[in-house]
């Protein structure tokens, strides 16, 4: 028995030694790190609208540009059409309606394979598919009763590809969405290089009829992707209203215009350079030069293309947007091999880093000089797009304690926390040829300390100005793509009170505000609604300020007409004054 006890003691001693050596080689004990205040929640929440939140959870989808233009492949009269996107070849090559309609006579689509397309989407890690129901050429790629200018009535193919694809999406567990152009050259719109045509009243019955067909004949629709034109406000409301009436769970993109959409669409391949409040999406293409099939497109440097698109996906997801990546099948329906291999390459990278992008959430840590950050529960993922030359990766603003950091290959890396900075010693070379990912295991919920968080001044209060004022941004439009502008929808500041709780503090706002706008002022968890006149220069509150905890001070519109509505205020400073100081 003594021998057994001695062996057990020896085993426990060795295990403890291994644990201590591992901790010493790979970390600094979290409880020895310099104390930091309790930060604010670091995960960016999804929309409070369950319908929009469900769409946000899809995160990454496949866009498909396919139509008569695909049959031409960017060539007209044996010459490449080098101007403009190839899906708009009818305009750029100035093809007459008669000649363009003849292209339908040879549209056989004999290699269109919805099962393979859905399988490719799943291989790429995508969760939904959006296909062109009708592009600017006005040729409907679905069976419509509004016109015979459609794929069933005019082509040898003679089937409804949207129906086949929608059924296959459901079979394979993918959500299905449709693209619908509000520009229609066949129905009467003139060629406009900006695609900014108004919608005449004479075209409304066609648009409404086709929308009703799409919303009733293809099962559940997750997303309706309107595009271009410049409808008036009443038209935008009516087009979006048809979708909401017939597909109440569907989301509508912002290109229905006049701020009637559920989520804002960025410009083609655009990643916003600032944080955005609200739901949004980046439409991306394998080649920035075109969305529809182009036979003479240069297809080269596949590893570089995979790396660029993975970086785009990361940048969008880390900022809270959805990423919709396009393929352009040939006229026969087949997917270009290069594009398929690129998508599989993205999927292979996602498989190597499960949970780091798909299923993960955006954070308030923002873009870093070395890459992007996402979080999934207690897993914080550091996507390193620029490997640190000095061998040290630094993440500032992390209030949650870390228990370990591992590399792609599972190696535990040395790390330490210097106050609210996580510093990781990385290997000389990255361990993933596309984008390496480090995983930091957190002790609890992700909490962060925003940059320029203020401690009390000599008077015991806080004044935020300049860089200490954080802006939240959105977008708004006045009825067209070219009227879309970035807006300021929120002003925030962050303060902390070390060592003591302030039970009552008053807030003064310096600057300008619209007197006819109502504003919501929130300090911590307590809010007040005030007019523009009351906002500026008047004492607001009182508000409590917690001890050793970051308190957020925020100004937003009290009842915005839409998510991107501008604040209509210019804030020069926010001053919080403890009541005891105010009485002196």
State the 10-residue block means of pLDDT for the chain, 584 residues long.
37 36 40 78 96 98 98 98 98 98 98 98 98 98 98 98 98 98 98 98 98 98 98 98 98 98 97 90 97 97 97 96 98 98 98 96 94 97 96 97 96 96 96 96 97 94 97 97 96 95 95 96 95 94 95 96 96 92 46
Q: Dihedral sign, CA of 165, 136, 252, 122?
A: positive
pLDDT for 33: 58
Query: Is residue 443 within 8 Å of residue 400, measured between CB atoms?
Result: yes
End-to-end CA distance of the chain: 76
Cα 297 to Cα 327: distance, rounded to the nearest angstrom? 13
Residues in CB range of 359: below 8 A, 6 or more apart: 59, 376
Q: What is the pLDDT of residue 54?
A: 97
Which domains does the chain show, CATH number per domain?
A: 31-45+360-448 (2.60.40.1180), 60-352 (3.20.20.80), 462-583 (2.60.120)
pLDDT attached to residue 14: 36
Phi, psi of 3 (to 5 degrees): -65, -40
Q: At what angle do helices 114-123 and 161-171 cross, to 10 degrees?
A: 50
Dist. CA 501–CA 580, nearest whole Å: 12
Structure tokens that stand for 576 in this block: 């919080």
Strands 322-327 and 569-578: unpaired
């Amino acid at each position: 028995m003594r021998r057994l006890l001695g062996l057990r003691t020896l085993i426990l001693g060795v295990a403890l030694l291994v644990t201590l050596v591992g901790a010493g080689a790979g970390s600094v004990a979290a409880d020895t790190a310099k104390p930091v205040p309790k930060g604010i929640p670091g995960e960016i929440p999804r929309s409070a609208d369950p319908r929009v939140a469900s769409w946000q959870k899809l995160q990454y989808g496949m866009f498909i540009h396919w139509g008569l233009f695909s049959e031409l492949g960017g060539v007209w009269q044996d010459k490449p059409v080098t101007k403009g996107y190839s899906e708009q070849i009818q305009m750029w090559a100035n093809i007459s309606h008669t000649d363009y309609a003849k292209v339908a006579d040879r549209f056989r689509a004999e290699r269109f394979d919805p099962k393979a397309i859905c399988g490719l989407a799943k291989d790429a890690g995508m969760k939904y598919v959006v296909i062109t129901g009708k592009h600017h050429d006005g040729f409907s790629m679905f069976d419509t009763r509004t016109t015979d200018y459609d794929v069933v009535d005019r082509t040898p193919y003679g089937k409804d590809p949207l129906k086949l694809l929608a059924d296959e999406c459901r079979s394979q567990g993918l959500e299905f969405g449709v693209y619908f152009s509000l520009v229609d050259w066949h129905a009467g719109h003139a060629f406009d290089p900006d695609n900014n045509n108004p919608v005449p009243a004479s075209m409304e019955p066609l648009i409404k009829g086709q929308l009703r067909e799409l919303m009733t004949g293809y099962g559940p629709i997750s997303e309706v992707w309107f595009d271009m034109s410049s409808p008036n406000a009443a038209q935008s409301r009516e087009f979006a209203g048809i979708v909401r009436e017939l597909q109440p769970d569907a989301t509508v993109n912002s290109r229905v215009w006049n701020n009637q959409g559920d989520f804002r669409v960025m410009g083609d391949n655009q990643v916003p350079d600032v944080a955005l409040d609200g739901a949004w999406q980046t439409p991306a293409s394998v080649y920035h030069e075109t969305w529809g099939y182009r036979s003479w497109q240069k297809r080269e440097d596949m590893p570089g293309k995979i790396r660029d698109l993975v970086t785009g996906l990361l940048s969008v997801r880390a900022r809270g947007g959805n990423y919709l990546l396009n393929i352009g099948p040939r006229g026969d329906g087949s997917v270009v091999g290069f594009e398929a291999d690129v998508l599989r390459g993205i999927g292979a990278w996602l498989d190597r880093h499960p949970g780091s992008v798909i299923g993960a959430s955006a954070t308030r840590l923002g873009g870093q000089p070395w890459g992007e950050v996402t979080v999934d529960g207690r897993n914080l993922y550091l996507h390193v797009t620029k490997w640190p030359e000095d061998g040290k990766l630094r993440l500032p603003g992390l209030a949650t304690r870390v228990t370990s950091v591992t590399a792609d290959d599972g190696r535990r890396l040395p790390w330490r926390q210097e106050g609210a900075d996580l510093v990781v010693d990385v290997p000389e070379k990255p361990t993933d040829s596309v984008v390496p990912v480090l995983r930091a295991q957190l002790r609890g919920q992700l909490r962060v300390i925003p940059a320029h968080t203020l401690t009390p001044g000599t008077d015991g209060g806080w004044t935020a100005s300049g860089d200490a004022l954080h802006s939240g941004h959105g977008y708004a439009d006045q009825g067209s793509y070219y009227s879309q502008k970035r807006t300021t929808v929120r002003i925030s500041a962050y303060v902390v009170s070390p060592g003591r709780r302030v039970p009552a503090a008053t807030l003064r706002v310096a600057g300008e505000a619209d007197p006819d706008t109502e504003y919501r002022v929130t300090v911590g968890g307590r809010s007040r609604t005030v007019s523009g006149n009351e906002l500026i220069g008047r004492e607001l509150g009182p508000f409590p300020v917690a001890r050793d905890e970051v308190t957020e001070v925020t100004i937003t519109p009290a009842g915005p007409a839409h998510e991107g509505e501008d604040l209509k205020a210019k804030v020069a400073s926010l001053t919080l004054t403890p009541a005891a100081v105010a009485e002196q």
